[in-house]
Structure 1
Amino acid sequence: MFDFMDMSFDEPGEQTASEPYIPDAGECMRCGMCVSSCPTFRLFPIDEETPRRRIRTISKILVENLPISADERRHLDNCVQCRACESVCPSRMAYGQLFDQAQAGLKVTSGWLARLAFRLIENKDWLRRLMPLLAVYLKSGLQKPLRRSGLLKKLHLADAEALLGKPALQALAVSYPASVTTRGRVALFTGCIAEHFDRETLPAAIKLLNAIGYEVLVPPQQGCCGAIHQHNGQSAAGLIDDNIAVFNALDVDAVLHTATGCGAMLSEYQNDDDAGQLFRQRLCDINDFLLEFWPDDLQLTASELKVAVHEPCSQRNVLKNQQAVYALLQKIPGLSVVALADNPICCGAGGSYMLTHPDNAGQLRALKQQIIAATSADVVVSGNFGCGIFLSADGGRVEHPVQLLARQLPSCRTISKAFILSTSLTGCSIAVP
């Protein structure tokens, strides 16, 4: 059963044994923890923009089968889905899962642009064919005149276009052998968009894994984790089943993810059969894996940089492993590491939220960038690809922790010739046997 917090004094509707349980007003602790942790309440300090009011709306949809008003729908949709409320709720409310169920229950028809995005995410071949066109567009010089024309805004593409980076056109290799004595084999989850636009993080992760003795497999049949679909009321069942089948077919010690947003979704796959259990048992965040299996004899080169750590909501509130990042970074001698002061508050990226609610997302990003500036950090790191590109959009630089770690690998560690030929990694000098 799922526990809700409801701060209103309305009587709950009739419930059956199979429905989510919603306590009545007398059972609510009235602690206000969910209110103070909500990013949209920070922007709009009204009760309608709090988790407790959204819970009331979700109750109408899932339990009472009542229609909701346009205002209730608007305030529900304003939710960033950061799940900070869930992590602080004494009643352990399953807010994320219930929010997804409510979105699916509304059965709203998506616009043409959203439908196109869903299809591209579902079909990796289509997405791959689009990448050369995007690369040509970015090189052509058409960006400035097209932006000035206002056409992108009319097509509702301006916000997505502003986040575009140079896409990788060459596919990752299927296998990357270890550069030292092999200790095991792992599979790398690359996602959908990140596979083309996060080509600094993925090779860095491979480089580190090879350096600690692990062969890395990158199965080309894998697909999107399904988060974008599920959080927007669409079915992610096909994507989930395909990923479980692809990774379960591999003889590996672990399935690793680099983006915490994808990792949060992967970790909550609801398949309860043997296949689903096997997938979840072998799933691991890259930071956790590196920290657990880091060799005692692998010493990184020193750095005097000051690094600020941004903790993505998916990492803080779902994976709950943000401390692994700090522990890993401490392996770099001389490095100064600080946490951003407002890490409990969402940066505004929220998966597709930065595209569906650009004004709200932009305000949250501005608040986060003020905090970043106040740290005077040389480098900002974030474990989530979406947060990284969103926070970097205004000229900033946010990178994944594994990028910083990979740059500090000692040049004396030999990397195999097969590895050099299969990727375009840059960084420390490499001796090829």
Structure 2
Amino acid sequence: MFDFMDMGFGPTSDQPITGPYIPDASDCLRCGQCVSSCPTFRLFQTNEETPRSRIRTISKILLENQAITPDERQYLDNCVQCRACEAVCPSKMAYGELFDQARAQLHTGPDWLGKLAFWFIENKRWRFGLLPLLAAYLKSGLQKPLRRIGLLKKLRLAEADALLLQPALKPLAAQHPAMGTKRGQVALFTGCIAEHFDQGTLQAAITLLNAIGYEVVVPPQQACCGAVHQHNGQSATDLIAKNLAVFNALEADAVLHTATGCGAMLSGYPDEDTGAAGLFRQRLQDIQAFLLDHWPESLPLQALPEKVAVHEPCSQRNVLKNQQTVYALLAKIPGLEVAALADNPLCCGAGGSYMLTRPDNAKQLRGLKRQAIAAAQADWVVSSNFGCAVFLGAEGGKVVHPLHILVRQLPTNLK
């Protein structure tokens, strides 16, 4: 066992530090804890596919102002950004922030498909305008012939097409009154894609909050959290500024998110001189943590004699670090057996947009996770992140948000 107190971990005197700390190469090689936690090392078993190798590449970009080789860029882009390395690093290296800075400094603009995706994420009105066309496409039966002739693959749309769900064609109402005596008011962050493709989870959140006495407001002016932009080297400044302005203007007791991927980004909003991000973070909470803290003893849930296997998203385990709230909340259902999915520390491969940009790697990781799901022999598999649930549930699987089980067990008069 290494004694980290004797290793001298910390900034070296000859290394200029202008942002998050990058450990010296010798420090990075002493411990190796990040290696065993890294999903790409699990796949490839090579040093180049480890966090300590990538941090050397990041150091070249951010500190040494050196060009990196195509191979180094490939290994950097293979990172799932799960941040498991950050969670175990004894040097407390802010790997996620460093990775985002490095990608931004590489100044690699998106291709036509990436530009289109970013544009739709940024423009809610156009997204809603095109949803009827997408819904018609999914109902038309065109998917199979287009896949068969290989057109979707040629257009590099095959991976996205395989994950498509029927979208909700109408936005959520802006206000949802509490049932019975009103205890307070909360604001719901809906995200961008989830607003259309995971509206059932958002509706479940609203139903549960109303049932425990909270009015829910859903500000239509809110924007994407900015995670997809920031993690792919693009600026999320405008999206962040918009969300801060919209939510800070509300008189809500809390701002709640249902997807841990969004929550990880929202909780890391940087503070400017105005202190707007600090004010926003003071009220920001995960929906499950809020429900757990405010669940009334007078509201029992209906029994469910079944088994639930809990998948813990990387954003929940490694950034928010609140995965235990899922177990505690589900434990309120009498008769329900709740168990952690085996090998939860290993990323499922979704990784935000990673499942689209690195599909081969992502599918290998998903295959390992599906083995754990099969071995669990559970009636339900739950995940608190929309992207993980969609990716794991694609092609015949079924993974739901924990809120779906909770709302299902509410007394009939509250549904």
TM-score (norm 1): 0.91
- Aligned residue for 1:283? 284
TM-fit CA distance, 1:146: 0.9
Distance 1:13 1:154, change over 3 A: farther
Q: What's the counterpart of residue 183 of structure 1?
A: 183
Aligned to 2:267: 267
Q: Distance in 2 between matches of 1:136 and 1:57?
A: 46
Alignment correspondent of 2:116: 116
| Structure 2 residue identity aligned to 1:124 | K
Cα RMSD of the aligned pairs, angstroms, is 1.5
Gaps of 5+ in 1: 1-11, 414-427, 429-433
Cα distance change, pair 55–294 in 1 and its aligned pair in 2 (3 A): same
Unaligned regions of 5+ residues in structure 2, if any? 1-11
Residue identity opposite 2:368 in structure 1: L
**Paired residue type of 1:134:** L
2:179 paired with 1:160:
no
Q: After superposition, what is the alpha-carbon deviation per residue over 1:374-419, rounded to whole angstroms, capped at 9, x for unaligned? A: 0100000000000000000021110000110000001144xxxxxx
Distance 2:375 2:277 in 1: 44
Secondary structure (helix, strand or coil) at the match of 1:332 reads coil
Paired with 1:239 and 1:98, the residues of 2 have a C-alpha distance of 20
Tell me which residue corresponds to 1:326. 327
Q: Give distance in 2, aligned partners of 1:217 and 1:22.
A: 42
CA deviation after TM superposition for structure 1 residue 149, in Å = 1.3
Could you tell me which residue of structure 2 aligns to residue 229 of structure 1?
229
Percent identical among aligned pairs is: 70
Conserved? CA contact 1:306–1:377, under 8 Å: yes
1:364 alignment counterpart: 365
Shift of 1:13: 11
Residues 21 and 93 of structure 2 are in contact (CA less than 8 Å); yes or no, is this contact kept in structure 1?
A: no
The 5-angstrom pairing of residues 253-264 of structure 1 reads 253-264=253-264
Across the two proteins, how many residue pairs are aligned to each other? 404
Q: Residue 416 of structure 1 aligns with which residue?
A: none
C-alpha separation between the residues in 1 aligned to 2:271 and 2:101? Answer: 16
SS in 2 for 1:200: helix
Shift of 1:62: 0.1
Matched residue, 2:379: 378
User: Do the aligned partners of residues 151 and 180 (structure 1) sit closer, same or farther apart at CA in structure 2, a change above 3 Å counting?
Assistant: same
Matched with 2:408 is 407
Letter in 2 for 1:354: M
1:343 equivalent to 2:344? Answer yes
Cα deviation code 1:287-339 (max 9, x no counterpart): 10000000010000000110000000000000000000000000000000110
Residue pair 1:14, 1:64 contacting (<8 A) in 2 also: no
Q: Work out whether residues 62 and 105 of structure 2, in 8 Å CA contact, stay in contact via their aligned partners in 1.
A: yes
Deviation per residue, 1:317-364 (Å, 9 max, x gap): 000000000000000000001101111000000000000000000000
Report 1:83-122 matches (<5 A).
Answer: 83-122=83-122
Residue aligned with 2:255, SS: strand
Alpha carbons of structure 1 residues 173 and 19: separation in structure 2 relative to 1, 3 Å: closer
Confirm or deny that 1:143 pairs with 2:143. yes
Cα distance change, pair 360–29 in 1 and its aligned pair in 2 (3 A): closer
Measured after TM superposition, the shift of residue 67 of structure 1 is: 0.3
C-alpha deviation, 1:179, in angstroms: 1.1
Q: Distance in 1 between matches of 2:28 and 2:111?
A: 38
What amino acid is the match of 1:87? A
Matches within 5 A, 1:195-210: 195-210=195-210
Q: Which amino acid aligns with 1:387?
A: C
What is residue 7 of structure 1 aligned with on the other side? none
1:366 and 1:26 mapped to 2: Cα distance? 35
Query: 1:20 Cα shift?
Result: 4.9
**Is the 8 Å Cα contact of residues 212 and 295 (structure 1) preserved in structure 2?**
yes
Do the aligned residues in 1 keep the contact of 2:21 with 2:94 (CA within 8 Å)? no
Deviations for 1:213-240, whole angstroms, at most 9, x for unmatched residues? 0000000000100000000000000000
Contact 1:57 1:76 in 2 (8 A): yes
For 1:259 and 1:17, the matched residues in 2 are separated by 33
- Distance in 2 separating the partners of 1:197 and 1:361: 21
CA shift for structure 1 position 274: 2.3
2:24 equivalent to 1:53: no
CA distance in 1, matches of 2:146, 2:27: 56
Task: Report the Cα distance in structure 2 between the residues aligned to 1:19 and 1:321, rounded to whole angstroms.
Answer: 27
User: Does 1:294 find its partner at 2:269?
Assistant: no
Q: 1:140 to 1:19 in 2, by over 3 A?
A: closer
- In structure 1, distance between residues paired with 2:306 and 2:378: 8
1:72/1:17 Cα in 2 relative to 1: closer, same or farther (>3 Å)?
closer
The alpha-carbon deviation at position 24 of structure 1 amounts to 3.0
Cα deviation for residue 85 of structure 1 reads: 0.2
8 Å CA contact 1:86, 1:96 repeated in 2: yes
Confirm or deny: 8 A CA contact 1:178 1:211 kept in the other structure. Answer: yes
The one-letter code matched in structure 1 to 2:408 is: R
Alignment deviations for residues 33-91 of structure 1 (CA, whole Å, 9 cap, x no partner): 10000000000000000000000000000000000000000000000000000000011
Is the 2:20–2:93 contact (alpha carbons within 8 Å) kept by the matching residues of 1?
A: no
Asked if 2 retains the 8 angstrom alpha-carbon contact of 1:13 and 1:63, the reply is no
CA–CA distance in structure 2, aligned partners of residues 13 and 361 of structure 1: 40
The one-letter code of the counterpart of 1:240 is I
Letter in 2 for 1:149: I
C-alpha distance in structure 2 between counterparts of 1:180 and 1:411, whole Å: 15
Give the secondary-structure state (helix, strand or coil) at the position aligned to 1:186: strand
SS of 2:31's equivalent? coil
